[in-house]
Structure 1
Amino acid sequence: MEDEAGVEGEVENPEAFSAENYAAEAMAADMDPWIVFDARKTPRAEFEGWLESNRPSLVSRYGDEEGGSGPVGWIAVVGPDHFPSTGDVAGLQEGWERLLASGRPVSFQTVKELALNHGVLTGKWLMHLDTGFKVDHAWASVAHAVLDGKISLAKVSPRDPKPDSKHVICAYNQSFTEEDQVMRLDAVIRAAGVKCPLSYKPDVYTYLGIYRNNRWKLCPTIYESKFDLECVPRRSHIVNKVTGTEVT
């Protein structure tokens, strides 16, 4: 299981790599400076040069002391029609604390109820890739789809020197509760040429610090997509991990 913290695989010692650790890493990345191409403000003619200069395999997460560059949290492309839609995150987190204090069971349904009540509905397909050509090529494909208005927003993590670290690409949509919308985003990513496995995570889990190895034993991703190269026509096999059913 993976999430946007960008660390691959399960760990032998869940105490050392708890959900709180992953949440702290993700928060640190969000707070550090981002490299952003905003298609609402920047001329399209500048995009190819920006993309080449900021390939994720070449941008260091923690900066380059010799080159004088500081840490970079994310590399992102904002689409021409992007409209921020985060909802009431503070209210969501207050409601979460009340839920925990109440002793009510924590489940996907209770978290979804909180998300609906506070309008925190965005989510993202996650792609985990090794550094080098694979991530640069996949990121370029997704970034072009954002520039063309097919994806609202996408971001990719820079290169992390830690062993076994992978890059993660996140491609966003407006509502994790609209299954047709989630499936359309998968189709756009596949049409861009990305064939690696994908997993889908609602942002509500991110805002509440629900990552893998969390104490409520919630799976932080609710869909998984595997691309079938042998199927004609080629298509994704998508499973709803909450219900355990394949989405057609």
Structure 2
Amino acid sequence: MMDMDIDQPIDLDIDHEVIELPDWVMPPTQSEIDDGLYDLHEDDEGIWIVYDWKDDNPDARIEPFYQRWPPSRTSSSLCSWINVNRGLSPASQLDQDAFDKRFHMDIEGLQKEFVEIENKVDTEELKLTPEMIDELAVKYGVLSGKWLVYASSEEVDKLWRKIVGIVTFDREYGSVKVSSRKVLEPSSESSPSATECNGGVPDPDEGHVICVYVEDYLDMDEVNRLRKALRFQAGVFKRIGFKPDVYTWLGLYRGNKFGIRPSKYHDSDNWARKK
């Protein structure tokens, strides 16, 4: 992790435009990690600030985590994601053999077979369908997925608290993460270096995304229960989409050459209206 100079926030005059900088949070400290306030993980997506649920006095433990890592004031120069992990759902707590068989996450096998399918699609021997992707997800145990809730920096802290509360206190299982606040690259001509402005100049075109997970995206009852909780308990009434993780691993984003919609479920779909 990069070392950062953290001073008091300042206003910067760029092209006669005053940019109000957030009161950025301080970088992680080893003493906080040792005290169990959070953990640090790093993977291909960057650095994660992770809160693993503690059953002893949960209210007292989660509140300092909220206060320490508000998404609107956590610079992307410090971490990519803030994550709260409440654990597995009761439905997925199978015996170990059954769990390993269904959720074995064979990413290498998944991607290898997909390359073979892609080659057939390229030669027009085959047409890729969402049902084929579902079959691959089951075969290779890649079944997790998430509702995607987008929010501005002005609203994200309050919404994050509500959604974490649903996962941790109401449902009592699951995982949720929120992106940190995107900042302009220090090399940008329109922004000074990150050290000059205590974490960076916020990117005005970027907001936040909150990912709220289910373990098995083919369990439609569970997918819909979570959507209802987001709607009626967190107030997320706007149209949102659900993306299976298998789509991400296979690189199925907007405008993909297969014509596959990148979000498998939406509020406007028939399944949602019938529930």
TM value normalised by structure 2: 0.65
Q: For 1:17-36, what aligned pairs fall within 5 Å after superposition?
A: 30-36=44-50
- % identical aligned pairs: 31
| Mapped partners of 1:215, 1:42: distance in 2 | 50
Are 2:86 and 1:79 aligned?
yes
Q: Within 5 A, what are the aligned runs for 1:42-53? A: 44=58, 45-53=60-68
Counterpart pick for 1:39 among 46, 53, 69 = 53
Match of residue 142 from structure 1: 163
> Counterpart in 2 of 1:170?
211
2:108 to 90, 99, 103: 90
Tell me the alpha carbon deviations over residues 92-142 of structure 1, each in whole angstroms, 9 at most, x when there is no partner: 11111111123321121111111111111111111011112x111111011
In structure 2, runs of 5+ residues without a counterpart are 1-41, 94-98, 184-202
Q: Is the 8 A contact 1:239 1:247 kept in 2?
A: no
Q: Which amino acid in the other structure matches residue 87 of structure 1?
A: M
The one-letter code sitting in structure 1 at the alignment partner of 2:135 is: E
User: What's the offset of the Cα at 1:192?
Assistant: 2.6
Distance (whole Å) between structure 1 residues aligned to residue 216 and residue 168 of structure 2: 20
Once the two structures are superposed, the pairs formed by residues 188-199 of structure 1 within 5 Å of their partners are 188-195=229-236, 196-199=238-241
For 1:29 and 1:128, the matched residues in 2 are separated by 23
Alignment-derived partner of residue 58 in structure 1: 73
* Alignment correspondent of 1:159: 181
Matched residue SS, 1:197: coil
Once the 2 structures are TM-superposed, how far is the Cα of residue 158 of structure 1 from its aligned partner?
A: 0.7
Conserved? CA contact 1:129–1:135, under 8 Å:
yes
Correspondence 1:93-242 to 2 at 5 A: 93-103=111-121, 104-132=126-154, 134-148=155-169, 150=171, 151-161=173-183, 162-195=203-236, 196-225=238-267, 238-240=268-270
The amino acid of 2:61's aligned partner reads E
How many residue pairs match? The answer is 197
Distance change in 2, residues 1:177/1:212 (3 Å) = same
Change (3 A) 1:30 1:189: farther
Q: Note the C-alpha offset of 1:156.
A: 0.4
Q: Which residue of 1 aligns with 2:198?
A: none
Structure 1 residue 168: Cα displacement: 0.4
Letter in 1 for 2:85: V
Taking structure 1 as reference, are residues 176 and 110 closer, same or farther at Cα in structure 2, changes over 3 Å only?
same
Q: 1:127/1:29 Cα in 2 relative to 1: closer, same or farther (>3 Å)?
A: farther
Select the structure of larger CA radius of gyration: 2
Q: 2:138, 2:45 → 1: CA distance? A: 26
Q: Secondary structure at the match of 1:148?
A: helix
Question: Is the CA contact (8 Å cut-off) linking 1:146 and 1:154 kept in structure 2?
Answer: yes
Q: Helix, strand or coil: the match of 1:92?
A: helix
Q: Structure 1 residues 146-155 or 135-144, which shifts more?
A: 146-155
TM superposition score normalised by structure 1: 0.72
- The Cα of 1:29 is off from its aligned counterpart by 8.0
SS at match of 1:175: coil
Alpha carbons of structure 1 residues 177 and 111: separation in structure 2 relative to 1, 3 Å: same
Q: Is the CA contact (8 Å cut-off) linking 1:38 and 1:79 kept in structure 2?
A: yes
Alpha carbons 1:79, 1:146 under 8 Å: kept: yes
Distance of 1:152 and 1:31 partners within structure 2: 20
Tell me, which stretches of 5 or more residues in structure 1 are unaligned? 1-27, 64-70, 226-237
